[in-house]
Structure 1
Amino acid sequence: MIRSLTPTQLVVDMMLAAFFGVVVVSNELFGGLGPTRQDTLWGIAVALIMTGALAVRRWSPAISLAAAWCGAIVQMLPGLSPRLSDIAIFAVLYVTAAYGTRLVFWLGFASSLVGALVITLYLTFGPFLGGGGISWSSIPSALAVLVAAGFALLLSWTVGALVRTAIRARQNRAAQVRAESEAIAEQERVRIARDMHDVVAHSLAVVIAQADGARYAIAGAGPDAATTALSTISTTARSALADVRLLLTRLRHSEESGPQPTLADLEGLYADVRAAGLDVAVDVDPAPRTEPGAGVQLAVFRILQEALTNALRHGDGSRVDVALAWHADRVDIEVRNRVDPAARVPVAGSTAAHGHGLIGMTERAQLAGGRLGAGEQNGVFVVRASVPIENAS
C-alpha cells in the first residue's frame, strides 16, 4: 500500500503537485469553464482531488488510483465537462503499472478499460450534451471516442508496465551480481580457512608431540633430548607463524600470494613428523618424469600434510607408510598407519565425517579434479587419493 521514497522524491512530488494544483485551480477560477458559480466550486473540488492523487502517486499508487476515481465521480455527478485537471489520470495510470503491487498493477489495467468505456458513455450520452439516447447516428462517434480514450489511457498504463519491466530487470541483475559476489567471497573464505587449517593444524600437532616428548625427556632422558625437542618446537612454531602472517596478508591485500608449498617441501614435512617421534617410510615409484603443475604439487603436499597430521593425532605412534606413484596422467597417493583404539578417526564421506582434516583433504583432491577416500581397515587407517596431472593447474 505504501512505498518508501527518498526525501528528494517526496520533495519533487510535492512541488510538482503544488504547481499542478495552482494551475488547475487558477484555470477553474479564471478559465471560464464553469458557467455557474456552482460549476466552479465543483471544478475546484475536482482539481483538488486530482492534485492529491498526483501528489501521492509514487508514495501509494493504490491511494492515488482510488483518489482519481473519486475525482472522476465528483466530476460526473454535476455533469461537468472535461477539465484540465483530468490530465492527472494519465500520471496515475502510469504509476499503477510502474510501481504498484501486482493487484494495483492489474487494477490500473482494468481502470484503463473501464475508464475508456465510462468516458465514451459520459461524453456521448452525458447530461452536459443534452443526454441524447442511443441512435445509429451516435454509434460511429461513440466508437471513435472509445478508441481514442482507450488508446490514451492504455498507452499511459503500457509505458508504466515497460518501466516496471526495466526496473525488475535491473533489480534481478543487481541481485545476480550480489549472489555471484557472495559466492566468490564464500569460496575465498573456504579456501583461506582450508589453508589456515592445513598450516596451523599440522604445526600444532608437531608442537604438541614435541612438547610431550620434552616433558618425558626432562623426566627421564635428560636435558639434551629436551633441548632438541624444544628446538623443534621453536622452529615449527616460527614456520607456522610465518605462514599465518602470509595468509593474513592475503586477507588484507588480495593481490598478495599466500604460502604455496611444492614437492620440494615434502622432505621438510617428513622431517617435522619424524622429529615428532613418528617413523615415516616413503616409497616413490614411479618417480615424476617432469615437474608437475603448481596445483598438483599443492594438492599432493596438503593431502600428505593432513594425512600425516591425522597419523600424529590418532595413530598409535608406530610406523607410517607413504606411497607415491607418479603416472603419466595422474599421481596416486596412499598413507597407512595403525590406529590408536582410543582415538578413532571418522571415515571420509560417511555421516560421521565431520572433521575439518578429512573434509579438507577431500576438497583438495576434488579441486584438483581428483578423488579421495579414507577409512579404517582392520585397525589400519588408510588414505587413498588420485590427482590427475593434466587437469590440475
Structure 2
Amino acid sequence: MFRPLKTHQIVVDVSLGVAFFLIAWPIEQIVTGATGYGAPLQGWLEAVQALLIALVFGAALAVRRLSPGLALGLAWAGAVLQMGFGRPPSFADLAIFAVLYTTAAYGGQRVYWAGFASALVGALVITVYLMAGPVFAGGGLTWQTLPLALVMLVAAAFALGLSWTTGALVRTAVRARENRDAQQRAEAEAAAEQERVRIARDMHDVVAHSLAVVVAQADGARYTLAAAQTGEGDMKTPADPAVATEALATISTTARAALADVRLLLGQLRHRQGDGPQPTLADLEDLYAQVRAAGVQLRVDVDPAPPGEPPAAVQLAVYRILQEAFTNALRHGAPGGPVDVRLAWLPDRVELSVRNPVAPGAAPHGRPGHGLIGMRERAQLAGGRFDASEESGSFAVSASIPIGGTA
C-alpha cells in the first residue's frame, strides 16, 4: 500500500500538502461567502465545511506518491463531502488532477486501473452534479440543456483523462528505461561471467605446474642439505652453496608466479579443464604476423625486454589483451591505418598500450562492449589495471600487470 520513498521526497510532499491546505482553506471560505450559501466569516458551519474540504484534499496531495491508492480514496472522499455540502467546484479540486497523475505513474495494477475508472466516472459525476445539483440547477437536465451537458462531460473527461494519461506515459517511459538498464546489466554480467569461466579454464594447468616446480625444487634443496651432513665415518660431504641458492631462487620465483595464478583462480566462480596449451610470449610473433597479413601497418616497440621468464599468467594476460586490442583495431580502426604497440617489461610489472586511428563515422567506444569487458577482466584478475579511451581521432587501450618480482 505504501511505496518506499526517500526522506527528502516525503518532506517535499508533506510540505506541498500543507502549503496547499493553507492556500485552499481561505479560498474555500471566500467561495462559500460569494455563493450566498452562508457567511464564512460569521458562521462556524461554513468554516468547518471549508476546513474539511481543504484538509482532505491537502492530505490527498501529501500522500499521492507515498500511497497512490490512499490518495485516490481521499480525493473521492473530498469530492463526496464537497457535493454533500452542496458546494461548487473550487481551488481545492486541483488536487484531483495530481492524484490521478500519480495513480497512473506510480500506482500498482489495481490502482492504475482504478485511476482510469475514476477519471471516467468522475467526469460523469461532475456533469450530473453541475447540471442537476443545488448550485447550478436550472430546471435539471432537459433536452434543452443536453448539449451543454455533453460539452461539460467531454471537457471534464478530457481534463481528468489528460492527467491520468500523462501519468501513464511517464510510467511507460520509466518502465522502458528500467528494462533497458536491466538488459544492459544482464548482458555485461553475462559477458563478465563468460570471461571468468574462460580464464579459469586457461589457468587450470598453469597453477598445477607452478606448484609441482615448487615441490620439486624444495625436495632438491632438502636432499642437497641432507647429503652435506651425511657421509662415511666422520667425513661429511661438502655442501655446494650454489646449488642450494639456485634451488631457493627457483622456489621464490615460481612461488610468486603461483601466487599470481592462485589470485586469478580465487576470482573465478567455476573451474573447468583446460583445452590444451595456452599462448605465451613466444606466440606473439605469430599474432603479429596474422595482424600484418590482414593489411594492418603494425609497429611494435618492446623496451625494455622481459627480464627472464615472466609468470605464465602474465604471459597469457598480455597475449589475450593484445589479441583483443588487435581485433578492435581491425573492426573499428581506419582501414590500413597504423597500429602502435608498446611493451615495457619493468622489474615489477609490464606496461602495454595499443593505439590505432578510428575510422571516420565509426560508432563511438563510449559503451563498453564484450571485448573491453574481457580485457578489463583479464587485467583485474591478474591484479593489474586496464584503461580504454578515445581522443584526437585515435583509440588507445593500456594495461599494467604486476609480474611479482622485486621492484
Query: Partners in 2 of 1:241 and 1:295 — Cα distance?
Result: 32
Q: Aligned runs of 1:195-206 on 2, under 5 Å?
A: 196-206=203-213
Whether the 8 Å contact between 1:46 and 1:74 is mirrored in structure 2 is yes
Which residue number corresponds to residue 293 of structure 1? 287
Is this contact kept in 2: 1:65–1:92, CA < 8 A?
Answer: yes
Which of 170, 175, 193 aligns to 1:168? It is: 175
- Find the counterpart in structure 1 of residue 8 from structure 2: 8
Verify the 8 A CA contact 2:203 2:261 in the aligned structure 1: no
Match of 1:142 in 2: 149
Q: Of 97, 111, 115, which aligns to 1:108? A: 115
1:94 aligns with: 101
Question: TM-score normalized by structure 1?
Answer: 0.58
Query: Distance in 2 between the 1:174 and 1:223 partners?
Result: 71
What displacement does 1:67 show?
Answer: 0.2
C-alpha contact (below 8 Å) 1:196/1:244 kept by paired residues: no
Report the Cα offset of residue 43 of structure 1.
Answer: 2.9
Q: Where do 1:3-82 residues align within 5 Å?
A: 3-31=3-31, 32-33=33-34, 35-36=37-38, 37=43, 38-82=45-89
Could you list the runs of 5+ residues in structure 1 that have no partner in the other structure?
253-259, 266-289, 306-366, 368-393
Question: Hey, what does 2:308 align to over in structure 1?
Answer: none
Q: 1:290-339: CA deviations, max 9, x gaps?
A: 9532799xxxx99xx9xxxxxxxxxxxxxxxxxxxxxxxxxxxxxxxxxx
Matches within 5 A, 1:248-267: 262=280, 264=282
Counterpart CA distance in 1 for 2:288 and 2:178 is: 40
Contact 2:221–2:248, Cα closer than 8 Å, also in 1 = no
Counterpart selection for 2:166 from 144, 159, 163: 159
State the alpha-carbon separation in 2 of the partners of residues 247 and 131 from structure 1. Answer: 90
- Residue 332 of structure 1 corresponds to none
Contact 1:29 1:40 in 2 (8 A): yes
Per-residue CA deviation, residues 38-89 of structure 1 (Å, 9 max, x unaligned), is 4443233111100110011111111100000000111111221112101100
Greater Cα shift, 163-172 or 92-101? 163-172
- Aligned pair in 2 of structure 1 residues 247, 185: CA closer, same or farther (>3 Å)? farther
Inter-partner Cα distance in structure 1 for 2:206 and 2:241: 25
Task: String of CA shifts for 1:188-235, please: whole Å, max 9, x gaps.
Answer: 544554455443221112333555677788689999999969955752
RMSD, matched Cα: 4.0
Matched, 1:207 2:214: yes
Q: Check the 8 A contact 1:39/1:78 in 2, yes or no.
A: no
Q: CA deviation at 1:237?
A: 4.8
Cα 1:141/1:121, change in 2 over 3 Å: same
| Contact map agreement 1:50 1:86 (CA 8 A) in 2 | yes
Superposed displacement of residue 33, structure 1: 4.1
Match of 1:314 in 2: none
* C-alpha distance in structure 2 between counterparts of 1:230 and 1:28, whole Å: 97
Query: Structure 2 length normalisation: TM-score?
Result: 0.56
Which residue identity lines up with residue 90 of structure 1 in the other structure?
Answer: F
Q: Secondary structure at the match of 1:160?
A: helix
What is the CA–CA distance in structure 2 between the aligned matches of 1:295 and 1:243, rounded to whole Å? 31
Partner of 1:372: none
Check whether the contact 2:207–2:261 (CA below 8 A) recurs between aligned residues: no
Verify the 8 A CA contact 1:210 1:233 in the aligned structure 2.
Answer: yes
In the alignment of these two chains, the number of paired residues is: 268
Which amino acid in 2 is paired with 1:239? Answer: T
**In the superposition, relative to structure 1, how do residues 213 and 223 fare at CA in structure 2: closer, same or farther (>3 Å)?**
farther
Partner of 1:285: none
In 1: Cα distance, 2:220 partner to 2:191 partner: 43
Query: Are the equivalent residues in 2 in contact too, given 1:210–1:230 (CA < 8 A)?
Result: no
> Does the aligned pair in 2 maintain the 1:112–1:150 contact within 8 Å?
yes
- Matched residues in 1 for 2:94 and 2:88: separation? 13
Distance 1:196 1:223 in 2: 41
- State the Cα distance separating 1:17 from its structure 2 match: 1.4
1:209-268 deviation line (CA, Å, top 9, x unaligned): 55567778868999999996995575255135146449969x99xxxxxxx852749xxx
CA gap 1:98/1:80 in 2 versus in 1, 3 angstroms: same
Q: Distance in 2 between matches of 1:15 and 1:223?
A: 91
Q: C-alpha separation between the residues in 1 aligned to 2:210 and 2:288?
A: 22
Change (3 A) 1:14 1:263: closer
Question: Does the 8 Å contact 1:211/1:229 carry over to 2?
Answer: no
- Aligned-partner Cα distance in 1 for 2:106–2:11: 18
Q: Give the equivalent residue in structure 2 for 1:268.
A: none
- AA aligned to 2:6 is T
After TM superposition, list the pairs within 5 Å mapping 1:338-353 onto structure 2. none
CA distance in 2, matches of 1:52, 1:86: 12
Structure 2 counterpart of 1:2, one-letter code: F
CA deviation after TM superposition for structure 1 residue 8, in Å: 1.7
For residues 90 and 292 of structure 1, the distance between their equivalents in structure 2, rounded to whole angstroms, comes to 70
Q: Which residue does the alignment assign to 2:254?
A: 239
* SS in structure 2 of the partner of residue 293 of structure 1: helix
Which segments of 5 or more consecutive residues in structure 2 lack a partner in the other structure? 232-236, 268-277, 291-311, 317-373, 375-407
Q: Is the 8 A contact 2:75 2:99 kept in 1?
A: yes
Q: Secondary structure at the match of 1:130?
A: coil
Matched residue SS, 2:143 = coil
